[in-house]
A and B are shown apart, each in its own frame.
Chain A
Amino acid sequence: MSFKINLRTILVIVICLTGISVIYQQPLVQIVLLAVTIALLFILRPSAKARQKLLHRLSSIGRIILVIFIFQLLFRRTGNVIFEYSILRITDIGINYALASSLRFFLIILVAGLLMDYPFQDYLIALNAWKFPYEIAFIVAATIHFLPVFKSIFDNKMETLALRSISLKKLTLKQRLKAFRTLLIPVLANAIHNIQNRSISLELRAFRLHPTRTYLHENKLHTIDLIIIMVTLLLTLFTMLTLR
């Protein structure tokens, strides 16, 4: 089954999933939430582009999740000791926290996959439908829009370096960090310039001329969206009452 449900419905699901994930620390809760998210990803079938992005993100963030796991495992020293050697001490609370935090991180990345197929304009319309002030809605949507812009500027710089036969992959970690530091200033300057020009361009098209505006496309909730929202909210409430 494949259907495109309203962004507002997805946002409600995302808020509920991440909300429960943040409130409850138990690894089992995180595993259930992960399972729900994976099932949703299968049902909603993100586009090939979104799937590719998601897999790329997961692979590049895998190491960070591992680092979070190790840090939580080693630095939580309270609880029943399971293993101890010299200054190294692993406790049951440490394992619990390590599992919960890395699973939560993993969940947040996966949940983002649910949002990847919705364009910038849909966020504006969705937030507007929830009576968010237009400026705030625009800033939120523009921030989401800005991230790929920033990445593309960074990629362009990397390509420029590659064309000069400089491959960062061949450098040592120390040299790579130094190169990134050098790259960061022109990338940021470029990004700021780019954003300034874009904001001028928006004003040149009567942005915020009136306190309200019209929309070419309305984004109405269908019956299926309302049912999903109701079920999600009820399940969230039930989960919170059960885990209290």
Chain B
Amino acid sequence: MKLLQVEDLSFRYPDQEDWLFSGLNFSLSAGQIMAISGNNGSGKTSLLYLLAGIIPRHRQGEIAGNISLAGINHKNADLSQLSTIISLVMQQPEDQIFFPTVEQELAFAPENLCLSVPEIEQRIDQALRLLNIYPLRFADTDKLSFGQQKLVALAAIHTLQPAILLLDEISSGLDEVKLAAVIKLIREYAASGKAVIIADHHSRLIELAEYVINLSKT
């Protein structure tokens, strides 16, 4: 089952003459993992922002081509609606952490989905256990290390359970143990019938993908 279809996608920021990337074509099915590689500034984050809908809703730019998502109109839906299908873990974890405790941070998405308390509890437990951060459940978010913040930001999107999970430079600042936990989560997420797109430099993450789009070459 196809979750995402990208056709002839091109993008450039305002006042830029050259396209950041152009003519991208790919699709993603349930259970697949895809990677986006490329040099710094090649447009990996911009592509993820386009897929997540942040561009053009919060960032400006010229877009050509088409993005289709299963079950929702990518062009017209608002970001909150899109997030239930496709959502992004951004590069900077401090930009994504809002609440004073890890538990509250993780509860936010399922609370917005109007889930019942047992369901919220179950999603929080699952995300914390998958990432081996259960002891952090009641920790203050302002006392977390950078690596812990990254895992909490990932867990906070995991509790939303979007059909497509987008990860932007998730490996940066993670030690080997934390990276192994992230890899486990990505594998299990895809195995559960959802899909993952990773934009990263780390070879261990790129190796997880069934196919890789290299933006440096486009």
Which A residues contact B (CB, under 8 angstroms)?
A: 119-121, 145, 194, 196-198, 200-210, 212-216
Complex contact B114–A207 (CB within 8 A): no
Contacts of B96 in A (CB 8 A): 197-198, 201, 204
A-B contact count (CB 8 A): 93
Complex Cα distance A208/B108, Å?
11
Q: A145-B98, A200-B54, A204-B52 are in contact. List 10 more A-B contacts (CB 8 A).
A: A121-B104, A205-B112, A205-B160, A206-B83, A206-B112, A206-B160, A209-B80, A212-B114, A216-B103, A216-B124
Decide if the interface of chain A is mainly helix, strand, loop or mixed.
loop
Which B residues contact A (CB, under 8 angstroms)?
A: 52, 54, 58, 78-81, 83-84, 87-88, 90, 92, 95-96, 98-101, 103-104, 107-117, 120-121, 124, 156-157, 160
Complex contact A119–B100 (CB within 8 A): yes
Complex contact B121–A216 (CB within 8 A): yes
Complex Cα distance A210/B78, Å?
12
With contacts A197-B90, A204-B79, A206-B83 known, is A213 near B156, CB below 8 A? no
Contacts of B101 in A (CB 8 A): 119, 121
Complex contact B80–A208 (CB within 8 A): yes
Complex Cα distance A164/B98, Å?
31
Complex contact B58–A200 (CB within 8 A): yes
Complex contact A205–B109 (CB within 8 A): yes
Complex contact A214–B95 (CB within 8 A): no
Pick the contact of A121: B95, B100, B112, B156 (CB < 8 A).
B100
| Pairs A–B under 8 Å by Cβ, sample size 15 | A119-B104, A120-B98, A194-B95, A197-B92, A200-B54, A201-B98, A204-B157, A205-B83, A205-B109, A206-B113, A209-B84, A214-B116, A214-B117, A216-B120, A216-B121
Complex contact B117–A201 (CB within 8 A): no
Most chain B CB within 10 A, of A205, A206, A213, is at A205
